[in-house]
Every structure is written in C-alpha cells, then in structure tokens.
Amino acid sequence: MCGIVGYVGPEEAGPILLQGLKRLEYRGYDSAGIALLNGSGVQVVKRSGKLSSLEQAVQEDSPSGTCGIAHTRWATHGAPNQPNAHPHTSSQGDIALVHNGIIENANDIRTQLSAIGYVFTSETDTEAVVHLIDRLWVEGEPLEDVVAAALRRVEGAYGIAVVSSRDPGKIVIARNGSPLLIGVGKNGETLAGSDAAAVIALTRDVVYLDDGDYAVLDMDGYRIKDIHGAQVSRTTHEVTWDLEAIEKGGYEHFMLKEIFEQPSSLRDVMRGRLMEEDGDSRLGGIAHHQPNLSRVRRVVITACGTSWHAALLGEYMIEELARIPVEVEYASEFRYRNPVLEDGTLVLAISQSGETADTLAALREAKHRGISTMGVVNVVGSTIARETDYGIYLHAGPEIGVASTKAFTSQLVALALVTLNIGRRRHLSVVQGGGIVRALKELPDQVEKVLELDSQIRSLAEAYADARNFLYLGRGLQFPVALEGALKLKEVSYIHAEGYPAAEMKHGPIALIDEDMPVVVLAPRDAVYQKVVSSIEEVKARRGRIIAVVTDEASELDGKVDHIIRVPQTIALLQPILTTVPLQLLAYHMAMIRGADVDQPRNLAKSVTVE
C-alpha cells in the first residue's frame, strides 16, 4: 500500500527512482511522483494514474539531481488526482515529503496551521506534516531534528521520506507502523524503500527500521536514531531472491507467472522440511519452541483476505490432526473485540506480506496480553515475521500480482507442515504422519498436471466471459476453496461472485439460480462427495450451469454437469491445493478476456498497511 523509494549517491537519481517505483507499483497505482534536489532547489513532478503517466512527464520535464524521493499512491485521504499525489511540498517548495500510512490528527494540525496563514493545496493528511516541518524549522537546524520534532506532534501510522534544499544532500526517513528499509549501497549510494523490491537493483543489503526509528541517509551511509533520540544500530539483512523473481520472465502477467510457479514454490516451502521415516516435519523456526507448543490448548488464527481463507483450512488441519480447538478470526474484527485469550492460547498470524495493518494490530493485541504468537509469513524480515515469537517462512519468493496465488498454496503446505509437527507430538501416529509426508511430496507434480488444463480452462472462460454473477460451492475442506475461487474472480475480473457451503445453498442462494447462473461446484472424491452430488442435482433442477471440479476419472457427474475439470486426487487435507489452481486460472482468463488489468485490479493494493 503506497510505495516509497529514495536515492542519494553519485548518479542521477531520476531513472533509479523511476525504476524503483516500477517495482513497487503493485503497492498502489492511483498516482505517482518524484522530487529531486539540485542546485536550484527541489524539483517535483507528479501525475495521477499509473506510473507510465509519470514516466512520460519526467521525459518532458527532465528533472535532475542526485538525491531524491519518489512515491506510488494507493489513495486513503483524498481522490486519486494530481494535487493529492505525493510528494507534497512546503509553500515555498523547498521541502518535499512522501508518506505511506494515515496521520490521524491531520485535521487538527491543518486547522492550527491554516489559522496562521498556511495554505493547503491538497485533501491529503500528508500535507499537514510537510507544513508542520516548515513551521517548526529554526534556521540552521539539521533536517533530521526538525522532522523528529514534527513527528513528536503527529499521531497515526507513517513511513515517510523527506528532502529539503535547506539542508541538501540527505534524505530523512522515519517509520511508525508502515514498513521502511534502508538499502546499503556499495559505491557511495544509499537508498530507502518501503520494501526490498525498491532497492534490489542496486543492493541486496537492507536494514529494516523499527517503529519509532528515524534515519539520515547520505553519500557516506546512514545513521539511525530511535524514538528517544539515541543512536541505534539495526541488523543488516541480505535479500536472498533475484531481480528475476520480480520480473515477468516471459509471461504476460505476474499473476499467470505466479500461478505457473506453484510447482516450484511448493517444492521450496517443503525443501529440507520433510521427514518421511518419522512421519514428521523439521521446522527450524519452531524447533526451539516445542515446550511452548506443547502447552498450547487453543489456537486462534488471524489473517485477512486470501490468507484468511488459508486460515480456515488451517483450522481443519489442526483440529483434525493435532486435536487442538481452533478459531479463525478476521484480523480487522479481532482487534476491536475483546477476545478471550486465556493462558494456553496461541495466536497464529498468517500473512503473505507480513505487513498487513489489521493482522499486525491483532498480533500486537495478543502480545500485549502476554499470549504467545506464531507467524506464517512469506516476506522475510517483514514486521509480522519480526514481531511474532516464532514462526515459519513460505519461501515462495516475491508475489507481485495483487491477487494472491502462489502464496496461498504455499500457506496451505506450511500449515500442513506445522500441523504435522504439532500433531506428531500429540496424537498423530508415525504411519499417519508418513502418509501425509508422502502426499506432500507428490503435490508439486500433481500441480503441474493441473496446469496442463490451462487451455481447457481458457475455453471455459470464453464461454462464460459475459456472466454477471458466479456461485462457488464446496463442502468441508472445499468450502474455503469456494470462497477463494469467488474472491479471485471478483478481484481480477470484477464479476460478482459468492462462495457458499454447498448444503447452505438451499437456505438462500438457490433463489438466484437460473440458466444464467454459472455454478462452480468443488466435488473431489472425499467423505462428503455424495452430499455434494445432491447439491449438484438441486442446481441442475433449477437449470443452473454447472462447472464441476472433480478427481474421478469417470463418474456419474459426466453426463450431469455442463463442464468437468479433472484434477489429480490427493489426501483430503491437501486436496484444496489441487482444486484451487484451476479456479485461479479461471479467474485469470475471465479477466483477460474481459480486458481487465489482471496485475493491478482497480481499487486494490497488494499489501494493505492502513486500517
């Protein structure tokens, strides 16, 4: 959600900043802008709309400077137009600031400053901060001290970067609630970014700021101070993935690339973690916490969006194999309730980005109450990964497509590995565990088989591209898959879709069914298969059009439904991985045929770092 990039060094900053923004565009694409410091002051160029508009404007204006900041916006306060685009500047144009987050007391600051003559030109909360910095600046004071003074008066969440011609040659950045890191360059350059993708072209060495930290970046490196003004040192991490991972690699879209990456991302999440003979998993991230885990009497899983669907499947897995009661909570609801979190509860946060504001807040609430916390996270070094007591990484590599695909299937495998680990220390036998390990090992090849259905699914999408609604039905472990299938379709193709437990259909959605309603039914051969067949009959009786996802080679459904998607069979707990992949492809092709922007669907952002 909003991307920030900064550069100070020997080179022209403009092209480097634009390149960084390009890699961050998935975080927001309502507007974009850059500010460069040069001999004549601060030069700002900004445009509404996608980054391409800014690139064109930069070509025309050719701003120059070797120190600058840039931003790509996902609108919170104010419409996505040019005046609201970042950077925001002081009235004299000599201070420029970019911001990710929400300043909660912006209106108070705005009122106070307006009363003494400050003129606001945007509707954003951010502009209040830049005028506040101007107001507090005593001549001769270094930029970092003024920024720190201003931030002491600011309430809310922010990651900011500031430059000023009053104190040139440096960028001041600060973090409170919105991720920010420093890219440590090797040739006299220092960078800033809201995530590693912004800086990876120039350096793999990154330093994550903690909440309350602010830092000065210049050609000599960086200095970090904490909330109390004390100089602190933070660990340097090495980014382990390559630039290739955040490029399309021959695919038309990141979403398609990431769908097709699933055989390898599933191999990566399992690598070195399967112990077939012991029917167990080896998880370095939780190995030292076994005593804590053995005390767990109840698990609360919290997450948002697609990760919440993974959480629902985690509930089935943990209850079934580890026999521990589980509740799943939307993080955004959990944080404002007064949840009962007694001793023996484990709060498990699932997040691809590791930065989702609601999930982080839920986690912090649990920690505040002394509850132990665990993370299942993809982005290494992200806030949730750092703030949970322990956890495991997905190692799925960067996920750029806004609609989550490979992270979801990796989350399911990660949850299976965690469940196996906990289960084997409780009721799960070596034989049962061994069966799960063997099924896990087969999964990547089975996903490859599902991907071979791509052209069949594309033809199906062509047949239904004009549909206005879609219904997805599943039962038991396939119910969260129905939710995920519907979410994917909504996100990228803008077709209204609902996921429903198959048997619940008759308590409402059945009223919607007629010959114009495509219904995707998840019907793998499992314990509830026959029940799902009954639901299919009910849809058929009302002339609904049925697309069934099945595992049987040939079955009674063949003549009964309109279309069959056949996927390989695995154990019930892992079957959702194989039934989800065709639904990802269906959503992708529907969106493509309808001309939607698959990687950057309207109004969405990849990681939602505001409430």
Give catalytic residue positions: 2, 606
CB-wise, 266 or 536, nearer to ligand G6P?
A: 266
> What is the pairing mode between strands 563-566 and 545-550?
parallel
Q: Nearest residue by C-beta to ligand G6P?
A: 305
DSSP-based three-state secondary structure for 229 = coil
Measured distance CA(561)–CA(71) in Å, rounded: 50
Nearest by Cα to 209 from 171, 246, 175: 175
Angle, vertex CA 102, rays to CA 97 and CA 105, nearest 5: 95
CB-wise, 255 or 546, nearer to ligand G6P?
A: 255
Residues 6+ apart with CB under 8 A from 379: 195, 352, 353, 354, 355, 385, 398
Q: What are phi and psi of 606, to 5 degrees?
A: -70, -50
Under 8 Å between Cβ of 169 and 8: yes
CB-wise, 410 or 535, nearer to ligand G6P?
A: 410
Under 8 Å between Cβ of 70 and 4: yes
CB 349 → ligand G6P: shortest distance, Å? 8
> What is the pairing mode between strands 95-103 and 156-164?
antiparallel
CB 422 → ligand G6P: shortest distance, Å? 22
CB 215 → ligand G6P: shortest distance, Å? 25
Residue 376 corresponds to which amino acid?
V
CB-wise, 54 or 396, nearer to ligand G6P?
A: 396
CB-wise, 120 or 494, nearer to ligand G6P?
A: 494
- Residue 60: which region, alpha, beta or left (left: phi > 0; alpha: psi -120 to 50)? alpha
Under 8 Å between Cβ of 216 and 6: no
CB 594 → ligand G6P: shortest distance, Å? 19
Measured distance CA(202)–CA(224) in Å, rounded: 21
Token code pair at residue 276: 């077939």
- Full DSSP string of 394-442: -------SSS--HHHHHHHHHHHHHHHHHHHTTT--HHHHHHHHHHHHH
Residue 118 CA, chain-centre distance (Å), reads 38
CB-wise, 345 or 352, nearer to ligand G6P?
A: 352
- Interface residues toward ligand G6P, by CB under 6 A: 304-307, 351-353, 356, 359, 402-404, 604, 606-608
Nearest by Cα to 601 from 254, 319, 156: 254
Residues 6+ apart with CB under 8 A from 449: 567, 568
CB-wise, 34 or 583, nearer to ligand G6P?
A: 583
CB 195 → ligand G6P: shortest distance, Å? 11
Strand order in the sheet with 390-393: 326-330, 298-303, 345-351, 372-377, 390-393
CB 382 → ligand G6P: shortest distance, Å? 9
Measured distance CA(147)–CA(399) in Å, rounded: 33
CB 606 → ligand G6P: shortest distance, Å? 6
CB-wise, 196 or 304, nearer to ligand G6P?
A: 304
CB 561 → ligand G6P: shortest distance, Å? 30
* Helices 51-61 and 13-24, packing angle to 10 deg: 170
CB-wise, 400 or 532, nearer to ligand G6P?
A: 400
CB 331 → ligand G6P: shortest distance, Å? 8
Residues 6+ apart with CB under 8 A from 155: 103, 104, 105
Measured distance CA(296)–CA(415) in Å, rounded: 16
Under 8 Å between Cβ of 91 and 118: yes
CB 377 → ligand G6P: shortest distance, Å? 8
Under 8 Å between Cβ of 573 and 436: yes
Residue 202 corresponds to which amino acid?
L
Q: How many CB atoms lie within 10 A of CB 370?
A: 8
> What is the pairing mode between strands 345-351 and 156-164?
unpaired
DSSP-based three-state secondary structure for 538 = helix
Measured distance CA(318)–CA(109) in Å, rounded: 49
DSSP-based three-state secondary structure for 85 = coil
Q: What are phi and psi of 495, to 5 degrees?
A: -85, 135
Under 8 Å between Cβ of 55 and 21: no
CB 131 → ligand G6P: shortest distance, Å? 32
CB-wise, 179 or 582, nearer to ligand G6P?
A: 179
Residue 278 CA, chain-centre distance (Å), reads 34
CB-wise, 307 or 535, nearer to ligand G6P?
A: 307
CB 362 → ligand G6P: shortest distance, Å? 11
CB-wise, 322 or 350, nearer to ligand G6P?
A: 350
